[in-house]
Amino acid sequence: MKTLKIAIQKSGRLNEKSVEILKNCGLAFENYKSSLISTVTNFPLEILFLRDDDIPEYVQDGIADLGIVGENVIVETKAEVDYLQKLGFGKCTLKIAVQATSTIQNLEELNGKAVATSYPVILEKFLTEKGIKSDIRTISGSVEIGPGLGLSDAIFDIVSTGGTLKSNGLKPFADVMQSEAVLIGNKSIADNPEVAELLQRIRSVLSAKS
Ligand code: PRT
Ligand code: ZN
């Protein structure tokens, strides 16, 4: 029997809930902060702890068979993987935001404007569909400070409570994408019986919760 590998986030917003859902499936494993890999003792499975950004490609390339990651990261990395199950945590919305004092009223006004983001692929796709050509500036973090510093006219980022936008003098302007954590699989593992077993356990954990 082949040992499956599942990639989950090592640390960050999805780590705790990812570990929790696997434990609730009855899987027994150690969860040391320092280890990058953990062997499940009662199921043919190894858990790989990775940066979330790397998970879709690891699953696409078959280095991991399964993964738990935010939909936004899957779309952004353009990875070709199967979406097996939405998991109901890590919910957020990717939004375009402008300064609270901005007079920008509609999307067309973003034509020719600078928009700072860490998610250029998702933003570009959205703007292209709307026929808008903005100057997309890719920054790896803290995009919220851009407009205040005069670096950009707008930002495109993940929002959950909206508190970060507010404290940086920004207001939401357009919703682009909803996201939550999903279980993804490599394209070639659809018929694997252990994957089917694991998926069934995950689904019963989720339905027991709702
Ligand atoms: O280290 P690693 O690369 O693995 O982690 P990371 O720092 O890239 O990601 P992490 O842990 O911050 O987020 C992992 C995933 O959680 C994201 O890809 C989303 O799918 C999901 N998620 C859910 C969020 C949020 N909610 C969220 N609020 N990711 C980020 N945020 C950030 C947002 O960027 C903003 O800076 O939180 C801030 C805003 O929160 P509010 O509540 O003030 O709106
Ligand atoms: Zn990341």
Q: Which domains does the chain have, with CATH numbers?
A: 4-90+180-209 (3.40.190.10), 92-179 (3.40.190.10)
Distance CA(120)–CA(142), nearest Å, equals 15
| pLDDT value, residue 6 | 98
Hey, whose CA ends up nearest to atom 7 of ligand 1?
A: 12
Query: Ligand 1: which atom is nearest the Cα of residue 15?
Result: 11
| pLDDT value, residue 183 | 98
Q: State which H helix or E strand residue 157 sits in.
A: strand 154-159
Q: Which of 9, 52, 68 to mutate to test the pocket of ligand 1 (most atoms within 8 A of CB)?
A: 52
Distance CA(197)–CA(210), nearest Å, equals 20
Query: What are the residues whose beta carbon lies below 5 Å from ligand 2 (ion)?
Result: 52-53
Pocket of ligand 1 (CB under 6 A): 9, 12-14, 51-53, 70, 72-73, 90, 92, 157-164, 179
User: In terms of C-beta density within 10 A (0-12 exposed, 13-18 middle, 19 or more buried), how is residue 140 classed?
Assistant: exposed
DSSP letter, residue 70: E
Hey, whose CA ends up nearest to atom 9 of ligand 1?
A: 12
Hey, whose CA ends up nearest to atom 30 of ligand 1?
A: 158
| pLDDT value, residue 210 | 77
What is the three-class DSSP state of 169?
coil
| pLDDT value, residue 191 | 87
Q: Which of 13, 53, 58, 95 to mutate to test the pocket of ligand 1 (most atoms within 8 A of CB)?
A: 13
What is the three-class DSSP state of 91?
coil
Hey, whose CA ends up nearest to atom 34 of ligand 1?
A: 158
| pLDDT value, residue 105 | 87
| pLDDT value, residue 102 | 93
| pLDDT value, residue 33 | 74
| pLDDT value, residue 2 | 83
Collect the ranges in the chain with pLDDT lower than 70: none
ipTM over 0.90: yes
